[in-house]
A and B are shown apart, each in its own frame.
Chain A
Amino acid sequence: MENNFFGEETAVILGMGEHRVGKCPMGTIGLGSCIALILRDRRKSLAGLAHIMLPESRGNTDRPGKFADTALSVLLEEMGRFGSTKLSITAIVVGGASMFEYSASSLNIGERNAAAVKDLLSDHGIRIEYEEIGGKVGRSVYYWPEKKGRLIVKRADGTCSAF
């Protein structure tokens, strides 16, 4: 798992609740119930990534990347500053797994996260280009905004996909 075949070590790793907009490679490691929401504007080789932890902000604003609703707003706003519009942006949604067997439902926040993110994207009319949500497997996600953009998802079971 720790190889560097795709050059992912150059990526900026975003922890839970963080977000970033830019042209540099970005990634999240060990995504479980959280969601990696990637918005990308391929014409500008620009992307935004948020590591979303919970579906609703309920008034918390200090870490916008932490909640689905505030994360989408802040990514759109920051990408807007680079001149991206909703029409030029598409989305990639990865994560939202249910990690625990034999578990009280409270630990399976993943499904609610995924549903919230998808609802918000459709409210904003943003097309989901690729999604890989649910299941019970942890994932690491890397995205390179350069050129047309490149996505790699590594799963805990050792499988890997690139786009």
Chain B
Amino acid sequence: MELDPIQMDALAEFGNIGAAHAATTLSQMLMSPIEMTVPKVQAVDIARLHQYISNEISAVVVFQIQGEVADGGYIVVSMPRETVIQLTNQMLGTTDTDREINEMDQSAAIEIGNIMISAFLDATAELLGIVMLPSPPALAIDMAHAAFESVIAQMAGDVNDVLIFNTELTSQAPPVYGDIYLLPNAELMQQLFQMLERLMEPLP
């Protein structure tokens, strides 16, 4: 998949708006400031994915993008295990950080993912004037790369690279760290560009 710089920019800006809203909701939930990196958009060869997605044990929450757009794009929230435990503690008012992931952590990870991604898609869909919704979430707590394989297998049957939009969210207190990935498939990508181009046309 070849993208020209304008398309890269458009996608980065599109994701930026979504991620900013997602970061705001996270910040409200935690009642603490959240920092966000400048989003990156790259086409990643599937054979090189292991250099791009870490092997750290993480909670990976996956949503398919649905609504008034072509099916098949994915949006993913990935958080290291320690972050999930921190988030659960923060919300429940507990303090034990040296423990295994339990059911409470799993539902916390899903809920946080759900709230953040809903905000992400709401904001971007509003920008485009369409409806975009997340599918029900799917959760894996495992090596992040292992979880991504299932997503990539859905997308890269006929192509050898996938387009990945990525931004990192961090907070100092509580110390949490997470990533949002947006993986549009070719049809969704096309549709997004058409809509973004229309947005950039000068007014008559």
Task: Please list the residues of chain A having a beta carbon within 8 angstroms of any beta carbon in chain B.
Answer: 1, 13-18, 28-34, 53-54, 58, 60, 62-63, 66, 97, 99-104, 106-110, 136-140, 156
Contact = CB atoms under 8 A, between A and B. Distances in A.
Interface centre among B48, B142, B146, B150 (most CB of A within 10 A): B146
A129 B28 CA distance: 54
A13 B145 CA distance: 13
Contact of A110 (B49, B150, B154, B157): B150
A133 to B, nearest CB: 14
Contacts of A137: 142
21 contacts: A15-B47, A16-B46, A16-B47, A16-B50, A29-B145, A33-B150, A53-B153, A58-B157, A63-B160, A97-B146, A99-B140, A101-B106, A103-B62, A104-B64, A106-B154, A108-B150, A109-B150, A136-B140, A138-B146, A140-B143, A156-B143
B160 A17 contact: yes
Given A32-B149, A33-B149, A99-B147, A140 B47 contact: no
B190 to A, nearest CB: 21
Interface residues of B, number: 38
Interface of B: 45-51, 53, 55, 57, 60, 62, 64, 106, 110, 135-140, 142-154, 156-158, 160
